Structure 1
Amino acid sequence: MTVIIGMDPHKRSATIEVIDHTGKIRAVGRYGTDKAGYTEMLTTGRKFGNRVWAVEGCNGIGRHIAHRLVHDGETVLDVPAKLSAQIRVFATGNGRKTDPVDAHSVAMAALHSPNLRRVEPDPDLLLLSMGTAPSSVDSRNQPNRGQSPSMESMRSLKRRLSNVVYARMLADQRQHEKASPGGHSGTTLQSSATGLTPHTDPSEKPLPGPATNKVNPAPAAAS
């Protein structure tokens, strides 16, 4: 028998409700989102053999905890907030929000909505998730003795950013090497800032001769 574990996630806590295929409540609980609380919640969920987690807002507040569950091998469905809100109105008659009511609404929405999106692993998010380290990370990124996983995750992120900057520097250097001696692509030694070097061929007209100090005599006066 498959059960649905509906979850109302918050930044520091998560409230869950477990229902079976008839909608009967099998378990409820509220847990912290720190490492201890998350481990306790996961242990509670794994008491049920066939299970599916339904998390509200996997693209928002529930994103991190949803991907932590996926990384740990759980099946997680994304329940849109609007859908669970509709169920809540039908269930309570007034739409009033409380954590247990929200968890129940999420679980019931998953029970009656067969086409919900399944959450797929996100390596970048898993790398930074609190208290976890993805198995796909190589040995250089594994936490060293005495270092917390979150600190090692930040170190790995810095290395990745450094690789991006280095690749950009190499691309700029190759572009510079392709440039001609003028310093920019497409320039030549015959080009100038404003265009081609002006043509300086000699003029076809002869230049006047050198100047002299000879004074021409004035014409004689008529007698």
Structure 2
Amino acid sequence: MGERTTGTTTADHLQLLCWAEQFGDARTWAIEDCRHLSRRLERDLLGAGERIVRVPPKMMAHARDGARTYGKSDPIDALAVARAALREPNLPTASLDGPAREVRLLADHRDDLVAERTRAINRLRWHLHELDPAWAPPARSLWRAKHLKAILQHLTREDGTVARLARGLVERCRLLTAEILELDQELEQLVRAQAPALLEICGCATLSAAKILGETAGVRRFRSRHAYARHNGTAPLPVWSGNNERHRLSRTGNRQINAAIHRIAITQAHYHPDAKTYLERRRAAGDNKAESIRALKRRLSDVVFKALTTDAEANTASTATAA
């Protein structure tokens, strides 16, 4: 029906919207689901009252494979997105960013700071080993203030470039730890305000709740608890052959949510009576340890989905009351 290449600014998106007016008001925009690149376009179109569906990249690949044209280019990709959107029902619809995005940004930034501190600690340990192989601080302790202070006292007896670099790394670890603790406090306040029901789940502390809340990005975009389980990778994949009904471990889905649910499952396996009873029943039925944990994760996905739904309804009600 038409083709147009546009820029990435808000003014370019306005021109694109004016160009699309020729196709009538009942239109839907299909955008490849890569929000780090398409976020501005989605925000501008949603602000204009447009409807947007997100097409997963793997669906585009299948559309390209089945096309009569070969290769990969922007026009070919655009046609693949359109065909995938027409072929697949119930694609996720885009919406304006809510409070969950702030949680995700803070949680991702905290992960980056922790990784940066780990690299600094590793370099510091090598420098300390070079200066004095007979002396080493306790393992997994170089983010604590008392141990960093002890290292500085130990380095006062050392001179040279290696000692100077080590003192700089100690200060870097101290600053990173202070920033990480500030983020922990901020996340605690945000998560407790947005997801109190999620925090009530046994084994779900602030960081796991923040990861689930941020990566879910709005539980209402999932039509059911089964769709959410498929999204986070806890739903097993069917591998039936003939009358042999089997399922195997799914390695697809959002691995960040999957890892958070796994941490909750491991904690409940040690401390939650109902979870321990369920695991024992699964083991008695013939499951091994890994299989029983995977079954528990699938049940926990439903629990998390219900808690997120409860929190979303409570937040909507409080917003309506405030308005």
Place the TM-score, normalised by the shorter chain, in its bin.
Answer: 0.3 to 0.5
TM-score, length basis structure 2: 0.30
TM-score, length basis structure 1: 0.42
Q: Which has the higher strand share?
A: 1
